[in-house]
């Protein structure tokens, strides 16, 4: 890229942020007629610059400012009818051959009509943002156009479309390219307080780790709280991985009458089949090899409180049958024991699997599903609760910076373009993926700054390249079920991550799971480092 300043060409190595300028074509473009001539005569000399004429607002601004990579020109039918548009394009092409020109005709009847201006201007802003690199710097020249157009530019640049505002001047002693500083911020001064007021009207959820601004998440939460306070029916939480099902379960517990009693959570996916019964129901000493003492199961540990069985779709069929009996009888018997213990718990279950399909395929007991399905809550994925992403970014960034400070590491801040890139991501891993991404960005930040290049690298990098799947020995043979094949793949993924990253924290970051989940994963897969 070449930057021209005072007729000196500066060659800059590496990629610089693309600079994009948006502007209306005004009635006095491409040049201002000499004194005494009317702007209406512009039509007569559109191809030839008249004697004594000076550059119009756009040409003058570009002459006195840094080079732009792309120029979006907006024009309405009244201006298009003159020769101004053609003359301006010819002059721009001659003077700024390196700059790409994008002409957009805006079909408005009245350039003062807000209802006509806003949808077109917003659409062009969105087109510009979506068509270029997320790190691009957007600029808007206010000088050409009506006051109504100026108002729309200020509104858009202050909310959904982040851009720098500029204006030109013909007055003596004034710069031909002045930065316009708007002394207010609509997002923080108007929109954000309104959101906080709306949040204050919601019931206290008792958790600082829970962000709930979207309508879908509020509805799910309110249904959960009602079910928790007025009934002891089992609650089944359905949703994709990483959507916050366990956080919701904790909120349900702490807003329930059992709030002062234990809350116990078990991830069934990390539970080896041979230990499932012992973990849930407990055992007596000598019940099996290695049972050297009496041990209560989680049903007993959660007595009087709440037990969450997360990823219940991974529970072995044999254990499912025993769980059904416990739910029906409200009694539990430890392995190796003859007496039964009366239990009083509120049972919650969660899964990211399609539980109804599992029932149809006989991979999950239909009678257990009927018993668990007292109240079903569908937890929406993050892509359906877009209002929550921005505050979640701030929440996880604050936590990551607090942890960084405890390690004497410099705290990091997101640039505007970096935040915009995070907001545009689809987040297939939902809230957990967002959390881990922010942690990695803060840990790897240089000079306390997270830019859009850092974000792009994190979002596009493959923790374990998909091509390695071709080298995984997942043998297909009669009698070998899907579960065994998936376990082979998981085992190989862990092996490759361990060889590449070495330590548990980095292995977890690479695989996108917590260190606690790694321990359960290794136990389930029989991995011994």
Q: Which helix (H) or strand (E) holds 347?
A: strand 346-351
Domain boundaries, the chain: 2-183, 196-380, 383-460, 466-525
Q: What is the mean pLDDT of residues 318-342?
A: 88
> Which pLDDT does position 33 carry in this prediction?
66
Q: How many percent of the chain have pLDDT more than 70?
A: 78
Confidence of residue 104 (pLDDT cuts 50, 70, 90): very high
pLDDT of residue 490: 77
CA distance linking residue 412 with residue 414, whole number of Å: 7
Residues in contact with 255: Cβ distance below 8 Å, sequence separation at least 6, in sequence order: 203, 205, 206, 225, 228, 229
Q: Is the pLDDT of residue 159 over 80?
A: no
Q: Summarize pLDDT for 200-233 with one digit per residue, the tens.
A: 444 444 444 577 888 899 899 889 888 887 778 8
For 95, residues 6+ apart whose C-beta sits below 8 A from its C-beta are 59, 62, 63
d(CA 456, CA 437): 11
Which is more confident, 291 or 238? 238
CATH classification of 383-460 is 1.10.8.60, yes or no?
Answer: yes
H-type alpha helices, 237-307: 245-254, 273-281, 298-301
Mean pLDDT of 5-31: 59
pLDDT recorded at residue 129: 85
Greatest mean pLDDT among 352-356, 500-504, 512-516 lies in 352-356
Using the predicted structure, report yes or no on whether residue 472 has a pLDDT greater than 70: no
Q: What is the CA radius of gyration of the chain?
A: 31
pLDDT at 499: 76
Mean pLDDT of 175-186: 76
- pLDDT one-digit tens code per residue, 355-409: 999 999 899 999 999 999 889 999 999 989 988 998 899 889 989 998 888 888 8
pLDDT at residue 184 greater than cutoff 80:
no
CA angle, 415 then 208 then 186, to 5° = 45
Which residues are CB-neighbours of 204 under 8 A, at least 6 positions away?
A: none
Neighbour tally for 288: CB within 10 Å? 13
Higher pLDDT, 33 or 454: 454
User: Can you tell me whether residue 29 is helix, strand or coil?
Assistant: coil
Task: State which of 302-311, 501-510, 512-521 shows the largest mean pLDDT.
Answer: 302-311
Read off the pLDDT of each residue in 254-266 and give the average, rounded to a whole number.
88
Cβ partners under 8 Å of residue 455, min gap 6? 134, 418, 421, 422, 437, 441
Closest listed residue to residue 110, CA positions, set 72, 56, 148: 148
Residue appearing with tokens 């239909």: 366
Domain covering 2-183 in this structure, CATH number: 3.40.50.10770
Task: Give the mean model confidence (pLDDT) for residues 307-321.
Answer: 90
Identify the CA nearest to 351 among candidates 326, 330, 372, 327. Answer: 372
Contact 212, 380 (CB under 8 A): no
Note whether 2-183 and 383-460 share their fold. no
Q: What is the pLDDT of residue 49?
A: 66
- Across the chain, what does the average pLDDT equal? 79
72 sits in which H/E element = strand 70-75
Out of 55-64, 310-319, 375-384, which region has the weakest mean confidence (pLDDT)? 55-64
Among 29-33, 121-125, 390-394, 429-433, the minimum mean pLDDT is found in: 29-33
Phi, psi of 5 (to 5 degrees): -135, 120
Architecture of domain 196-380: 3-Layer(aba) Sandwich (3.40)
**341 vs 162, 264, 281, 333, 338, CA distance in Å?**
63, 18, 10, 6, 10
**Nearest one of 253, 259, 247, 185 to 212, comparing CA atoms:** 247
Least confident of 202-206, 373-377, 485-489, 522-526: 202-206
pLDDT value for 13: 30
Q: Is the pLDDT of residue 350 over 90?
A: yes
Q: What is the pLDDT of residue 517?
A: 67
Overall average pLDDT of the 126-151 stretch: 86
């Amino acid at each position: 890229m070449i930057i021209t300043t005072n007729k000196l060409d500066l060659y800059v190595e590496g990629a610089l942020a693309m600079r994009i300028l948006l502007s209306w074509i005004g009635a006095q473009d491409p040049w201002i007629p000499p004194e005494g001539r009317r702007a209406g005569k512009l039509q007569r000399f559109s191809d030839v610059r008249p004697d004594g004429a000076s550059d119009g607002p756009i040409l003058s601004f570009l002459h006195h400012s840094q080079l732009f990579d792309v120029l979006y020109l907006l024009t309405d039918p009244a201006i298009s009818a003159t020769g101004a548009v053609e003359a301006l394009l010819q002059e721009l092409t001659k003077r700024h051959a390196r700059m790409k020109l994008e002409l957009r005709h805006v079909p408005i009847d009245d350039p003062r009509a807000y209802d006509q201006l806003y949808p077109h201007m917003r659409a062009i802003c969105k087109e510009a943002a979506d068509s270029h690199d997320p790190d691009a710097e957007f600029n808007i020249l206010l000088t050409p156009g009506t006051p109504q157009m100026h108002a729309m530019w200020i509104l858009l640049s202050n909310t959904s479309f982040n851009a720098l505002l500029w204006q030109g001047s013909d007055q003596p002693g004034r710069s031909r390219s002045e930065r316009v500083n708007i002394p207010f911020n609509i997002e923080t001064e108007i929109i954000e307080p309104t959101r906080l007021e709306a949040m204050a009207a919601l019931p206290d959820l008792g958790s600082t780790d829970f962000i709930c601004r979207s309508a879908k998440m509020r509805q799910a939460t309110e249904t959960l709280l009602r079910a928790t306070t007025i009934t002891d029916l089992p609650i089944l939480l359905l949703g994709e991985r990483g959507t916050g099902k366990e956080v919701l379960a904790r909120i349900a517990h702490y807003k329930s009458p059992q709030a002062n009693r234990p809350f116990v959570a078990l991830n069934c996916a990390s539970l080896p089949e041979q230990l499932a019964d012992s973990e849930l129901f407990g055992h007596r000493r000598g019940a099996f090899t290695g049972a050297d003492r009496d041990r209560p199961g989680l049903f007993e540990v959660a007595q009087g409180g709440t037990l969450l069985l997360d990823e219940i779709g991974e529970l072995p069929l044999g254990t499912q049958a025993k769980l059904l009996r416990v739910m029906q009888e409200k009694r539990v018997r430890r392995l190796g024991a003859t007496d039964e213990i009366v239990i009083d718990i509120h049972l919650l279950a969660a899964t990211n699997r399609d539980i109804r399909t599992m029932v149809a395929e006989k991979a999950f007991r239909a009678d257990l599903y009927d018993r668990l399905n007292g109240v079903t809550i569908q937890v929406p994925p993050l892509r359906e609760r877009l209002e929550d992403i921005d505050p979640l970014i701030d929440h996880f960034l604050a936590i990551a910076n607090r942890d960084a400070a405890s390690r004497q590491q410099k705290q990091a801040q997101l640039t505007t373009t970096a935040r915009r890139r995070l907001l545009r991501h689809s987040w297939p891993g939902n809230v957990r993926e967002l959390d881990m991404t922010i942690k990695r960005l803060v840990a790897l930040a240089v000079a306390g700054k997270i830019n859009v290049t850092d974000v792009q690298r994190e979002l596009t990098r493959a923790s374990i390249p998909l091509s390695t799947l071709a080298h995984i020995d997942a043998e297909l043979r009669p009698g070998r079920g899907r579960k065994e094949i998936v376990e082979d793949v998981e085992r190989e993924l862990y092996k490759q991550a361990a060889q590449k990253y070495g330590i548990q924290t980095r292995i977890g970051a690479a695989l996108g799971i917590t260190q606690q989940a790694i321990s359960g994963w290794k136990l389930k897969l029989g991995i011994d480092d």
